[in-house]
Amino acid sequence: MGQGEQNHRGHSEEDSARMVSRVRDGERPRSIGCLSRLPKAERTLTVPITSHRKIVGQVLVLCKRFLLKVAWRILGNEVVQREERLLSVLEEHRLFIQELEHAVHRIERLQSSGVCGAQPLVPQSTFLQPYREKLRGDESLIVSMSRGYVDFFVGHEPVLDLGCGRGTFLELLKEEKIDSYGVDTDHQAVKRCKDRRLRAEVGDAPAHLRGLARETLGGIFCSHILEHLSGDQIEDILMLSYNRLKPGGRILVETPDPSSLLVLSTDFYKDPTHLRPLHSEGLKSLMEVVGFENVTCRGTWPFSPEDRLPAAPPDAPGYMKQLIDRLNGHLCQYRSYVVTAVKPN
pLDDT in tens, 176-229: 999 999 999 888 889 999 999 999 999 989 899 999 999 999 999 999 999 988
What range defines the domain where residue 200 resides?
Answer: 125-342
Report the domain count for the chain. 2
One-letter amino acid of 155: G
Q: How far is CA 300 from CA 31, 46, 256, 260, in A?
A: 49, 62, 9, 12
- Say what the pTM is: 0.61
Q: What is the DSSP string of 6-74?
A: HHHHHHHHHHHHHHHHHHHTTPPPTTSSTTTTS-GGGSS--S----S-SSSHHHHHHHHHHHHHHHHHH
Residue 248 falls in which region: left (phi positive, over 0), alpha (psi -120 to 50) or beta: left
Q: Show which of 68, 84, 109 is a domain's final residue.
A: 109
Give the integer Cα–Cα distance in Å for 244 and 233.
16
Counted residue by residue, the chain has a size of 345
241: domain CATH number?
A: 3.40.50.150
Q: Do residue 69 and residue 141 come from a single domain?
A: no
Q: Assess if residue 11 is contained within a domain.
A: no
Q: Show which of 50, 83, 109 is a domain's final residue.
A: 109
Q: Do residue 101 and residue 138 come from a single domain?
A: no
Q: Do residue 141 and residue 83 come from a single domain?
A: no
Convert the pLDDT of each residue in 22-53 to its tens digit: 544 444 444 444 444 444 444 444 456 666 66
Say which residue, 151 or 37, is predicted with more confidence: 151
Residue 251 in contact with residue 225, Cβ under 8 Å? no
One-letter amino acid of 73: R
